[in-house]
Amino acid sequence: MAFGRCFRSFERMDISISNTRLLLWLFLILSRSESVYANSIVDIDAHEMQSLLTLKEILQLQGDIWQENRNPCSSWLGIACEDGHVVSVSLFSMKYQAVGPSQNGSLMLEKAVQTLSTMSFLRSFNATGFEFRGQLPDSLGKLGKLNALDLTGTALYGSLPASFKLLSRLNFLSLAKNNLTGSISPFVEGFYNLQYIDLSCNSFTSLLPFTLFFKASQLMYVDLSHNGFEGVIPPFMGNLVNLRHLALGHNFLQGSLPLNHLKWPHLEYLDISNNNLQGPIADSISQLKSLSYLNLAHNYFTGSIPSAISSCTKLQTLILDRNLLTDKLPLSMITLKNLVVLSLSSNNLSGRIPSKIFTLPRLTTLVLSHNLFFGMLPLNELKPALIQVFDISYNFLEGDIPESLFPVEKIMKNCFQGAPTQHSPKACKQFYRRIGISWQETQPRSGSSTGNNTFTWLVQGHTRKNKRLLVILGCAAGGAFVLVIAGFCALCNERHKGVLNHELNEGIREVVTDRGSSLDKCFQMSFSRFLGEPFSYDTLSQATNGFSSSNMLANGHSGELYKGTLEAGTNIVVKRVYTARKIELYLKEMEIFQRAFHRRLVTVLGYCISEPDEKFLVYEHMPCGDLASVLQTKEVAYEGFYQCPRRPLDWITRLKIGIGVAEGLTYLHHECSPPIVHGSLDHADEESTTLDRSKDVYDFGKLLLELLSGHSGITERRDYQTDSWVEWAVSLINIHDKEALYQLLDPSLVVVGDFLDEALVMAVVAKACLNPKVSKRPSIRHTLKALRNPMSLFQEEKTRSKLSWILSEQSWDTSTFGVFRSVGTTSSVAASEINDTVSNAGNSIYLVQNAAYVDEIEELSLRDIQEV
DSSP 603-628: PEEEEE---SSEEEEEEE--TT--HH
Which pLDDT score is estimated for 10? 35
Strongest mean pLDDT among 232-246, 326-340, 660-674: 326-340
Which pLDDT score is estimated for 99? 53
* Average pLDDT rounded to a whole number, residues 541-563: 84
pLDDT of 226 above 90: yes
Which pLDDT score is estimated for 293? 97
User: 838: pLDDT confidence band, cut at 50, 70 and 90?
Assistant: very low
Full-model pTM:
0.58
* β-pairing verdict for 228-232 and 203-207: parallel
pLDDT of 359 above 60: yes
Taking the C-alpha atoms of residue 642 and residue 630, their distance in angstroms, rounded to an integer, is 13
Of residues 529 and 797, the one with the higher pLDDT is 797
User: 384: pLDDT confidence band, cut at 50, 70 and 90?
Assistant: low
Which pLDDT score is estimated for 801? 36
Give residue-wise pLDDT tens across range 478-531.
333 333 333 333 333 333 333 334 434 443 333 333 333 333 344 333 334 445
Give residue-wise pLDDT tens across range 20-59.
444 544 454 444 444 444 444 567 888 988 999 898 888 8
Kindly state the percentage of the chain with pLDDT values over 90.
Answer: 27
Taking the C-alpha atoms of residue 400 and residue 406, their distance in angstroms, rounded to an integer, is 13
Which pLDDT score is estimated for 590? 56
Which pLDDT score is estimated for 103? 58
The amino acid sitting at 362 is R
* Average pLDDT rounded to a whole number, residues 321-329: 92
* Average pLDDT rounded to a whole number, residues 835-863: 25
E-strand stretches of 517-663:
533-534, 552-556, 559-565, 571-578, 604-608, 614-620, 637-639, 642-644
pLDDT of 580 above 60: no
Which pLDDT score is estimated for 474? 37
Taking the C-alpha atoms of residue 389 and residue 799, their distance in angstroms, rounded to an integer, is 41
Which pLDDT score is estimated for 484? 36
* Average pLDDT rounded to a whole number, residues 671-681: 64
Give residue-wise pLDDT tens across range 145-204.
999 999 999 889 889 999 999 999 999 999 999 989 999 988 998 899 999 999 999 989
Which pLDDT score is estimated for 319? 97
User: 277: pLDDT confidence band, cut at 50, 70 and 90?
Assistant: very high
Of residues 683 and 742, the one with the higher pLDDT is 742
Beta bridge partners of 222: 197, 246
Taking the C-alpha atoms of residue 649 and residue 147, their distance in angstroms, rounded to an integer, is 44
Least confident of 42-46, 664-668, 683-687: 683-687
* Average pLDDT rounded to a whole number, residues 94-113: 71
Report the SS3 class of residue 687: coil
Taking the C-alpha atoms of residue 21 and residue 28, their distance in angstroms, rounded to an integer, is 11
Average pLDDT over all residues of the chain: 72
Handedness of CA 363, 369, 373, 378 (dihedral sign): positive
Beta bridge partners of 303: 325
Nearest to 744 by CA among 787, 713, 791, 710: 710
Which pLDDT score is estimated for 320? 96
User: 468: pLDDT confidence band, cut at 50, 70 and 90?
Assistant: very low
Least confident of 157-171, 343-357, 812-826: 812-826
pLDDT of 579 above 60: no
* β-pairing verdict for 372-376 and 348-351: parallel
pLDDT of 98 above 90: no
Which pLDDT score is estimated for 792? 60
Which pLDDT score is estimated for 774? 86
Which pLDDT score is estimated for 106? 79
User: 381: pLDDT confidence band, cut at 50, 70 and 90?
Assistant: confident
**Beta-carbon-side half-sphere exposure of residue 732 (alpha carbons within 13 Å):** 20
User: 632: pLDDT confidence band, cut at 50, 70 and 90?
Assistant: low
Residue 792: CB atoms within 10 A of its CB come to 22
* Average pLDDT rounded to a whole number, residues 208-228: 91
Report the SS3 class of residue 723: helix
Taking the C-alpha atoms of residue 449 and residue 103, their distance in angstroms, rounded to an integer, is 62
The alpha carbon torsion through 60, 161, 219, 231 (nearest 10 deg) reads 130
Taking the C-alpha atoms of residue 609 and residue 66, their distance in angstroms, rounded to an integer, is 35
pLDDT of 325 above 80: yes
- Structural domains of the chain in order of their starting residue, each with its CATH number: 20-224 (3.80.10.10), 483-621 (3.30.200.20), 649-867 (1.10.510)
User: 679: pLDDT confidence band, cut at 50, 70 and 90?
Assistant: low
**Beta-carbon-side half-sphere exposure of residue 644 (alpha carbons within 13 Å):** 22
Of residues 140 and 855, the one with the higher pLDDT is 140
Of residues 69 and 316, the one with the higher pLDDT is 316
pLDDT of 832 above 70: no
pLDDT of 641 above 70: no
Which pLDDT score is estimated for 180? 92
Q: How many residues does the chain have?
A: 868
3-state secondary structure 326-384: EECCCHHHHHCCCCCEEECCCCEEEECCCHHHHHCCCCCEEECCCCEEEEECCHHHCCC
| Beta carbons of 43 and 85 less than 8 angstroms apart | no
pLDDT of 460 above 50: no
Which pLDDT score is estimated for 396? 93
Of residues 646 and 62, the one with the higher pLDDT is 62
Which pLDDT score is estimated for 793? 61
